Amino acid sequence: MAAALRIGVIGGSIAGCAVAVAGSRAGADVTVYERSDAELQDRGFGIVIPPPLHAELVGSGYLDAAMPTAPVGTRIWLTREPGGRSARELARQSSPVTPCNWGHLWRSLRASAGAVRYLRGQPVVSVGRGGSGGAVITSARGDEPYDVVVGADGHASATRRLLAPGSRPEPAPYLVWRGAIPLGAPAGRPRELELLREAWVTLGFPGGHGVFYLIPGGPQDGDGSGGESNRLLAYAVYGRPPEGAEPGPYVHELAKEHFPAAWADIVARGGRRAAACHPVADVQTPRVARPPLLLAGDAAGVTRPHTATGAVKALQDALCLERVLREEPGRSAALERYADERTAAGAHLVELGRRMGRALVEETPDWPTMGQVEVDTWFRGVLAGTRHYLYAETREAAEPGRLERPPPGAAVPR
């Protein structure tokens, strides 16, 4: 009987754990090196994934069916009433999504990867060439040989630099503020919470937009169950602070100036967990595997977050890895096929993320002049024939009766 393929994984976050599950399901002997000594938690606040991917991951044993999610089926586009402080609803689209809490997602993948060696507090110092076309991982444990080394070491991946020394993240000319707040914080805003129980909301303003959605509370919140009674309100706001403004707190000014009062209030009440401020950048490795090295998740490529696909891509990378390891006769053939499939998928998302960023932040439309038809037509142009799970419905023509929607420009009481 042939010896099991030895896979060393650098990074034990979403991509690292998903790849570990993939490798062990395909019969490999997997070791994960994670730099951080602590239990990973609360890294990414809310993570939205497509419902069919969630179902596939549950069906194939990557995720526990009991992992809490907060699915909704509709997307609502809002803007501020010109000259007022109330919200105006522009459009509704069918947009089924499965919001998760980063902490539960990671824990579920970690549990599914139970049988693999997961080494916490073990930074990889270097990766070198090994015998028989393999590689050697060097850490405080010494040199350990592997047949395949997976770089799942995130957006600043050192493994990416080995495969593509010239690849550099390209900054976008704007920032994102991200937060997740307990539902008690906006308790005085029952209408907005009611809306969010059935839909996720995009709020357009001149020079950017915000997205708002409910996610299950994390393992540290309330009873830790993430159930119906334990939700967080997650948001991400994209915009550009003016020259000289301190970036972090600027989101509050921005919300005060441009958001309907109720939504500005939600951002203002954020409290301790809101809001992390991040630069936005993207990068794609020209080819995401060259035996014996392979990249997964953000290490392989980072797309602007408008596509909501960084973790999605990491999970799809893992599913692809399992499939090619099972189907291809040898390590090299498997990695080359992975590279063919996943490089193309990543490049497509980077390009789509840029188009979305231009439309939703850099060159925003005159939101108050838009209604259902205008939003649909505009975004169909942005997608330019591409299918994307957040835009399940940018219809050729409105389909009356499919969704109950207000006439263009109808005001939503605040």
Ligand X SMILES: Cc1cc2nc3c(=O)[nH]c(=O)nc-3n(C[C@H](O)[C@H](O)[C@H](O)COP(=O)(O)OP(=O)(O)OC[C@H]3O[C@@H](n4cnc5c(N)ncnc54)[C@H](O)[C@@H]3O)c2cc1C
Which is nearer to ligand X, 10 or 334 (by Cβ)?
A: 10
User: 86: exposed, middle or buried (C-beta count within 10 Å: 0-12, 13-18, 19+)?
Assistant: middle
Is there a contact between 9 and 35 (Cβ–Cβ < 8 Å)? no
Which is nearer to ligand X, 135 or 412 (by Cβ)?
A: 135
Which is nearer to ligand X, 63 or 412 (by Cβ)?
A: 63
Tell me the closest approach of the beta carbon of residue 148 to ligand X, in angstroms: 16
Tell me the closest approach of the beta carbon of residue 32 to ligand X, in angstroms: 9
How far, CA to CA in Å, does 164 sit from each of 93, 99, 158, 254, 299? 40, 33, 10, 38, 11
Which is nearer to ligand X, 4 or 162 (by Cβ)?
A: 162
Tell me the closest approach of the beta carbon of residue 231 to ligand X, in angstroms: 16
Cα–Cα distance, 225 to 248 (Å, whole number): 31
Which is nearer to ligand X, 12 or 241 (by Cβ)?
A: 12
SS3 59: helix
Is there a contact between 74 and 92 (Cβ–Cβ < 8 Å)? yes
Tell me the closest approach of the beta carbon of residue 41 to ligand X, in angstroms: 11
Nearest alpha carbon to residue 364 among 95, 87, 77: 77
Tell me the closest approach of the beta carbon of residue 97 to ligand X, in angstroms: 8
How far, CA to CA in Å, does 316 sit from each of 67, 286, 345? 18, 18, 10
Tell me the closest approach of the beta carbon of residue 324 to ligand X, in angstroms: 19
Which is nearer to ligand X, 338 or 412 (by Cβ)?
A: 338
User: 36: exposed, middle or buried (C-beta count within 10 Å: 0-12, 13-18, 19+)?
Assistant: middle
Cα–Cα distance, 409 to 69 (Å, whole number): 32
Cα–Cα distance, 154 to 161 (Å, whole number): 12
Tell me the closest approach of the beta carbon of residue 16 to ligand X, in angstroms: 6
Which is nearer to ligand X, 158 or 345 (by Cβ)?
A: 158
Which is nearer to ligand X, 270 or 297 (by Cβ)?
A: 297
Sign of CA dihedral 97, 408, 365, 239: negative
Which is nearer to ligand X, 141 or 191 (by Cβ)?
A: 141
Tell me the closest approach of the beta carbon of residue 388 to ligand X, in angstroms: 12
Rg of the chain taking only CA atoms, in angstroms: 22
The DSSP annotation for 137-157 comes to EEETTEEEEESEEEE---TT-
Tell me the closest approach of the beta carbon of residue 306 to ligand X, in angstroms: 9
Interface with ligand X by CB under 6 A: which residues? 10-16, 33-36, 40, 43-44, 47-49, 123-124, 152-155, 158, 176, 178, 236, 278, 297-299, 305, 308-312, 314
SS3 389: helix
- What residue is closest to ligand X based on CB? 310
281: β partners: 171
* Alpha-helix runs per DSSP H in 135-273: 158-163, 190-198, 247-258, 261-268
